[in-house]
């Protein structure tokens, strides 16, 4: 079997939302597919009313296939300090033509203010490794883990785009979605992330810098977070770029367009090139002359995060069979 659905960007590509069908009859929620976590949780009829502002709610009592996992709970917190918690049901979940009949659907009873204020985001669908799932007393499988045995190929692909809808596909690799070759690299799943190592980077037309960059491919992170040495080398090339402590990040003049940034993939010279305009993440003020940088430092995290700013420049294969990542230009 195969499946897939569109991934529609919110403002500034801060996140991408994908329609997911839950229950019988189907209830369609727009979820943030997140390779950096492994819980499928949704706003629901059980979410405290004061914490709901416009989100679509999953109501298990309206689904003939919902079954409550009595005594099961979940609680999660994310890198940006947001959090949510609740109870657990099993129900039918589909992404396009791909259906998992007994998927753990974690219903939120409480969500932090960041989720409340994100009115288009009805929850998250985690595609990290199972070790990250927070359900107690027994961890639950991700949608991908449940679907994998039935998939034509044990893969899903991320084809995010700048400012326009892209796609997540399951079970196949669309040869029309990328150019050139897909370069596969090994993944370290010991921390539950799609963790890989880039051999280095290049700035604009500059020479390639060989430096090991270990990091995760994370569709749930908006920016590209890299070691401070790389970040200061990049912004050092841009007059007027500086670290702005009030913004807690590097800012740069929105014009002229900043230099491209390329990161290496594999050991035979392949690279993914981010057009400089991707580094103009969003204007910081009303004048539109200063932009917040799409590349920021990873200090305090312990690894780099190849988030949406990087992923939208590539076609990425997440191979659950061989536990590898495939990177291609497009
Ligand atoms: C089982 C936990 C699981 C593995 C968890 N995984 C993650 O945090 C990574 C995961 O991909 C999450 C998924 C997010 C969570 C918030 C909602 C959107 C999805 N990613 C992050 O937290 C990365 C940092 N956040 C971001 O990148 C958010 C994402 C977002 C998008 C839209 C709206 C709101 C938030 N972006 C922003 O806040 N932006 C606003 C500011 C702008 N300058 C950039 C964009 C973890 O590591 N948690 C441990 C943890 C807990 N607490 C903390 C403080 N740090 C932690 N690392």
Tokens of 318: 């997440």
Average pLDDT, the chain: 98
Strands 209-217 and 304-306: parallel
At residue 165, the pLDDT reads: 98
Nearest CA to ligand 1 atom 21: 79
Q: How many CB atoms lie within 10 A of CB 73?
A: 15
Which residues are catalytically annotated? 34, 198
Give residue 288's pLDDT band: very low, low, confident or very high (50, 70, 90): confident
Average pLDDT over residues 83-97: 99
Predicted confidence band of residue 191 (pLDDT cuts 50, 70, 90): very high
Question: What does the pLDDT average to over 75-101?
Answer: 98
Q: How remote is the CA of residue 220 from the centroid of ligand 1, in Å?
A: 7
Cα gap 144→21, rounded to integer Å = 15
Q: Quick check: CB of 125 below 6 Å from ligand 1?
A: no
- Is the CB of 13 within 6 Å of ligand 1? no
Q: Are 169 and 326 in contact, with CB atoms under 8 Å apart?
A: no
CA atoms within 13 A on the CB side of 38: 20
pLDDT at 74 over 90: yes
Q: Place 285 in a pLDDT band, splitting at 50, 70 and 90.
A: confident
| CB 119 near ligand 1, within 6 Å | no
Q: Which residues, including other chains, have CB under 8 Å from residue 252's CB and lie 6 or more apart?
A: 235, 238, 240, 241, 242, 258, 279, 280, 290, 291, 293
Residue having the nearest C-alpha atom to atom 3 of ligand 1: 37
Q: What is the pLDDT of residue 190?
A: 98
Any ligand 1 atom below 6 A from CB of 220? yes
Ligand 1 within 6 A of 31 CB?
Answer: no
**Cα separation, 188 vs 39, whole angstroms:** 20
pLDDT over 90, % of the chain: 99
DSSP label of 145: H
Closest approach atom of ligand 1 to CA 220? 11
Residues 86 and 44 sit within 8 Å (Cβ to Cβ): yes
Residues of the chain with pLDDT > 70, as a percent, come to 100
Residue 286: pLDDT band (50, 70, 90) is confident
Residue showing tokens 């993939």:
265
The mean pLDDT value for 173-179 works out to: 98
pTM: 0.98
Task: State in Å: Cα 79 to ligand 1 middle.
Answer: 4
Average pLDDT over residues 149-169: 98
| pLDDT class of 103 with cuts at 50, 70, 90 | very high
CA distances to 26, 28, 177, 272, 315 from 96, rounded to whole Å, are 12, 11, 18, 29, 19
Distance 219 CA to ligand 1 centre (A): 10
Q: How far apart are the first and last CA of the chain?
A: 25
Q: Whose CA is nearest to atom 23 of ligand 1?
A: 221
pLDDT band at 56 (very low <50, low <70, confident <90, very high): very high
Give the model's pLDDT for residue 242: 98
Number of C-beta neighbours around residue 236 at 10 A: 10
CA distance 230 to 329: 22
Ligand 1 atom nearest to CA at 292: 43
Q: Which atom of ligand 1 is nearest to the CA of 118?
A: 33
Q: How much distance in Å is there from the Cα of 57 to the middle of ligand 1?
A: 22
The confidence score (pLDDT) of residue 287 equals 87
The mean pLDDT value for 142-162 works out to: 98
């Amino acid at each position: 079997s195969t499946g897939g659905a569109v991934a529609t960007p919110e403002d500034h590509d801060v996140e991408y939302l994908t329609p997911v069908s839950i229950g019988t009859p189907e209830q369609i929620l727009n979820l943030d597919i997140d390779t950096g976590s492994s819980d499928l949780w949704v706003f629901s009829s059980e979410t405290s009313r004061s914490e709901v502002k416009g989100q679509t709610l999953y109501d298990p009592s309206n689904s003939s296939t919902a079954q409550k996992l009595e005594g099961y709970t979940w609680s999660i917190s994310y890198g940006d300090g947001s959090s949510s918690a609740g109870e657990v049901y099993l129900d039918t979940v589909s992404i396009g033509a791909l259906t998992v009949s007994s998927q753990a659907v974690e219903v939120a009873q409480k969500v932090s203010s960041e989720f409340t204020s994100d009115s288009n985001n009805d929850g998250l669908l985690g595609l990290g490794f199972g070790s990250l799932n927070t359900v107690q007393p027994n961890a639950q499988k991700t949608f991908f883990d449940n679907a994998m045995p039935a998939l034509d190929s044990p893969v899903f692909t991320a084809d995010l785009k700048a400012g326009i809808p892209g796609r997540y596909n399951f079970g196949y690799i669309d040869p029309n979605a990328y150019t050139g070759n897909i370069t596969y690299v090994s993944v370290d799943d010991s921390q539950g992330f799609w963790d890989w190592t880039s051999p280095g980077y290049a700035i604009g037309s500059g020479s390639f810098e060989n430096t090991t960059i270990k990091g995760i491919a994370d569709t749930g992170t908006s920016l590209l977070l890299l070691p401070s040495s790389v970040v200061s080398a990049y912004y050092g090339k841009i007059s007027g770029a500086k670290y702005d402590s009030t913004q807690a990040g590097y800012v740069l003049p929105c014009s002229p367009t900043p230099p491209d940034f390329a990161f290496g993939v594999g050991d035979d010279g392949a690279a993914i090139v981010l057009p400089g305009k991707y580094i103009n993440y969003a204007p910081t003020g009303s004048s539109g002359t200063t932009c917040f940088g799409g590349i920021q430092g990873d200090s305090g995290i312990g690894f780099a995060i190849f988030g949406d700013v990087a992923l939208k420049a590539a076609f990425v294969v997440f191979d659950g069979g061989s536990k590898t990542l495939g990177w291609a230009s497009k």
